[in-house]
Structure 1
Amino acid sequence: MKNKIILLLTVTTLSLVSCKKEKELIEVTIPEPEKVETTAMGNPADVKAEDEEGAFQMKGLPYAYNALEPFIDAKTMETHYSKHHVGYCNKLNAALKGTDLESKSIEDILQKLDMSKTDIRNNAGGYYNHNLFFEILNANGGDATGEVLEAINKDFGSFEGFKKQFTESATKLFGSGWVWLIVDKSGKLVITTTANQDNPLMSKAEVKGTPILTLDVWEHAYYLKYQNKRKEYIDGFFNIINWNKVNEKFNSVSTKPTE
């Protein structure tokens, strides 16, 4: 129902002969405030590749878009997954259409990639990188445990030593890119960075190895919440790492060094 109020207005009537003031009551209608439409948070399971027959499909998320708050906000996660990530998936399928690479795994494609083929390089990298990033996050976080923690202590001196080096690498990386914890060809844990959508599996990677953990430091991964405060985003990341998944990945590659 529209709200009504009665305003007391003073109307002054001017006359050449005399001044006369009259008072009258006027009924004024005040419109209700406009309703702000809110959009319900989407479901990651509803995000599908455009080409349902394409070589690569969306893997989904093991949590809701808002599950990682306050460290990664729901809007950023939804935009990151349902816009950026699916975009890489769609463009990768289009780039591979009709080629012999359609039958290859994403790891094989990356390891034997002709780096001059930028459409495949960018989109295969974007697809693989984001899959790993989303997979190693967890709403509950927790501490590093098991064999991967033992390896971290051995190769970095302590977990705090690892965290400091990883944070410094992520903070200092210029522009857009990724920070990685990898198992190199000797079985040692190493921290490295790559620009754009490159990764350590690629043939011309500066430091090669098998990734077991990664952090996306493209601005689209954090800018809605943190703006230019990348360090705060990095600090938050350590609260939502799924160390059980990282440990699982470490165990699957630690005895199979990358050539």
Structure 2
Amino acid sequence: MIVNRRQLIAASSVALAGTVLSPAISTFAATAFMQKKLPYDEDALSPAISARTVGLHYGKHHAGYFKKLNQLVQNTEYADLPLDQVVTQSSAKNDEAIFNQAAQAWNHDFYWAQFKGGSEQPTGSFKEAVERDFGGIDGLKKKVIETADAVFGTGWVWLVKDNEKLNVLGLRDAGTPLAVAKVPIVGIDVWEHAYYLDYENRRTEHVGAVFDKLVNWRYAGEQFQI
């Protein structure tokens, strides 16, 4: 087969186009938002949260938020931002589709991290703040459970620092303290996928078990110092 000059130039142009496009594709892949590794085995939270629930919650729901987020941010102003800034900026701009995925991705990274090491009692200035604002750990637990029970449908219960005061917020759907300028201290997921396999419709029982057996209060105290 004889290839004339025009055909050769056309073929070279196609090859060059492929070379130009490849770095862009690689750059996106390299900067895609990545789900943090689960900091313990899937059965580490049992019996408060079963290995089956962790597997589905972390491996399907949490992973799904990252997958969808990476699809949505391609070729947008959000693609090169840190995840927390995607949350705050998409909230401010009412970019609901991106906010929902980014907030849920960030919320769950926080959620899993707070359980590493098991439950410890509050200490130091954090303990003093709990006693000042809730009358102690039992008063905080009561407030958290009441707030969880009042969240209609899906959402989160957050212990937050608002200036120097502690408060408990019940936020719908992908609600996150980042979007309301509060510092997250503890976050408990009250979407059904977080508890239904283990507790069926007994949401407050799930919240109580997480509060008593899983939250690492030393970790919470570290967030209080931020």
> Which interval holds the TM-score relative to the shorter structure?
0.7 to 0.9
* Partners of 1:68 and 1:139 within 8 A in 2: no
Q: Distance in 2 between matches of 1:222 and 1:177?
A: 12
Alignment counterpart, residue 245 of structure 1, candidates 216, 219, 222: 219
Give the C-alpha shift of residue 54 in structure 1.
Answer: 4.0
Is the counterpart of residue 214 in structure 1 residue 187 in structure 2? yes
Q: Percent identity?
A: 37
Asked if 1:109 is matched to 2:86, the reply is yes
Check whether the contact 1:180–1:192 (CA below 8 A) recurs between aligned residues: yes
* Superposition map of 1:95-244 within 5 A: 95-113=72-90, 114=92, 116-138=94-116, 140-184=118-162, 186-202=163-179, 205=180, 208-238=181-211, 239-244=213-218
Match of residue 36 from structure 1: none
- Hey, which of these two has a bigger chunk of helix by percent? 2
Letter in 1 for 2:66: C
Distance between the aligned counterparts of 2:109 and 2:210, measured in 1? Answer: 16
What CA deviation, in whole Å up to 9, does each residue of 1:210-259 have, x standing for no partner?
1121000000000001101112111110211111211111112xxxxxxx
**What secondary structure does 1:192 align onto?**
strand
In structure 1, the partner of 2:65 is 88
- The CA distance in 1 between the partners of 2:167 and 2:75, in whole Å, is 37
Q: Give the 3-state SS of the residue equivalent to 2:188 in structure 1.
A: strand
1:39-50 map, 5 Å:
none
CA contact (8 A) 2:120 2:216 kept: yes
Q: Which amino acid aligns with 2:185?
A: I
Structure 2 CA distance for aligned equivalents of residues 74 and 215 of structure 1: 17
Q: Secondary structure of 2:94's partner? A: coil
Aligned pairs, number: 197
Higher relative contact order (CA 8 A, sep 6+): 2
Identify unmatched segments of 5+ residues in structure 2: 1-27
In the TM superposition, 1:67-82 aligns within 5 A as: 67-82=44-59
Query: Structure 1 stretch 128-137 or stretch 142-151: which is displaced more?
Result: 142-151
Moved more, 51-60 or 131-140: 51-60
Q: Give 1:115 shift.
A: 5.0
1:156 to partner: Cα distance: 1.6
- CA apart distance, 1:155: 1.6
CA distance in 1, matches of 2:125, 2:94: 38
User: Which letter maps to 2:56?
Assistant: T
Query: What is the one-letter code of the residue matched to 1:123?
Result: Q
Aligned-partner Cα distance in 1 for 2:93–2:54: 30
Q: Distance in 1 between matches of 2:189 and 2:31?
A: 25
CA offset digits 1:124-162 (Å, max 9, x no partner): 111011111111113632322232212111122222111
What secondary structure, in the 3-state scheme, does the structure 2 residue paired with 1:180 have? strand
Q: C-alpha displacement at 1:179, in angstroms?
A: 0.3
The one-letter amino acid paired with 1:242 is N
State the Cα distance separating 1:110 from its structure 2 match: 2.1
State the shift of 1:52 in Å: 4.7
How much does 1:77 deviate?
0.3
Give me the TM-score of the superposition, normalised by structure 1. Answer: 0.72
**Alignment gaps of 5+ in structure 1:** 1-50, 253-259
Bigger Cα Rg: 1
